[in-house]
Structure 1
Amino acid sequence: MTESSPVSVYYDGACPVCSREIEAYRRLTPEEAVRWVDVSSCSADELGEGLDRTQALGVFHLRDASGQVLSGVDAFIALWARVPGLGLAARLAALPPSRFILEVGYRVFLRVRPLWRKGR
């Protein structure tokens, strides 16, 4: 995947925390670099091959330019690598100690996220 190839980011727009975070990334990222897909309101066709709504609502996903689907911390790292100003964060997050801490933190977040989700 090259930095200029478009990717698709799948996020839960019914989660206020998720939506605010995605909005921050959108403000920093060139429009043509990322296709933002709100899984809570998109059509099944917009999810593409190999990704269903239940999966996409359960964990953050990113489909790279080659069609590979990344999820969780791997998806965040891939997104951060594309967002201007977050390249260093992506490189640091990819290091084993950081990745471990992020994985643990993300799993905790996934457990409490349903409490914030609209229409739960």
Structure 2
Amino acid sequence: MSNQFLSTDHKVEVFYDGECPLCLREIKLLKWLDRKNRIQFTDIAAKDFSAADYGKTPDQFMDEIHGRLPDGQWIIGVEVFRQLYAAVGLGLLVWPTRLPGISSALNFGYQAFAKNRLRLTGRCTTETCEVN
């Protein structure tokens, strides 16, 4: 059964799609950078993962990256990446992403990627991608 609570040793929990090749590259990098074990990694594609255990649906987790802070607050999208990179000590690289123009561009870019992630990674099926 999935751990429902973020360990107090972790700064952020990330819920990632372990079947997404692009996502896995990012996760592998973060695991390598996370030398102080500040990130808790939860694979939403794992057989024992249950979205309902977290009060969410599988589609919610698949539509956009989710993270959770130690106080239980959920974060989604670009903010998850900000928290992950800050947790591994790259906070100086994170702060410019909060500037209005940069923040808007990153949010737009991430939304475009998230909406097309399955198509971009060759994982479309009739159930996962709309036929246009």
TM-score (ref. length: structure 2): 0.76
**2:77 counterpart (72, 75, 79):** 72
CA deviations 1:76-114 (Å, max 9, x no partner) are 111121122x21121111121111010111012113211
Q: Who is 1:93 aligned against?
A: 97
Q: Who is 2:130 aligned against?
A: none
Which structure shows the bigger proportion of residues in helix conformation?
A: 1
1:8 match: secondary structure: strand
Larger Rg belongs to: 2
2:40 match: secondary structure: strand
**Alignment partners' CA distance in 2, 1:62 and 1:119:** 24
Larger RCO: Structure 1 or Structure 2 (Cα < 8 Å, ≥ 6 residues apart)?
A: 1
Q: Who is 2:117 aligned against?
A: 113
Deviation of residue 32 (structure 1)? 2.7
Identity of aligned residues (%): 30
Aligned-partner residue type, residue 44 of structure 1: S
Aligned residues: 115
Deviation of residue 57 (structure 1)? 1.5
Q: Who is 2:60 aligned against?
A: 55
**Alignment partners' CA distance in 1, 2:70 and 2:25:** 25
Aligned-partner residue type, residue 21 of structure 1: E
Q: Who is 2:50 aligned against?
A: 44
Q: Any unmatched runs of 5+ in structure 1?
A: none
Q: Any unmatched runs of 5+ in structure 2?
A: 1-7, 126-132
**Alignment partners' CA distance in 2, 1:17 and 1:68:** 26
TM-score (ref. length: structure 1): 0.83
RMSD (Å), alpha carbons? 2.1
**Alignment partners' CA distance in 1, 2:87 and 2:123:** 29
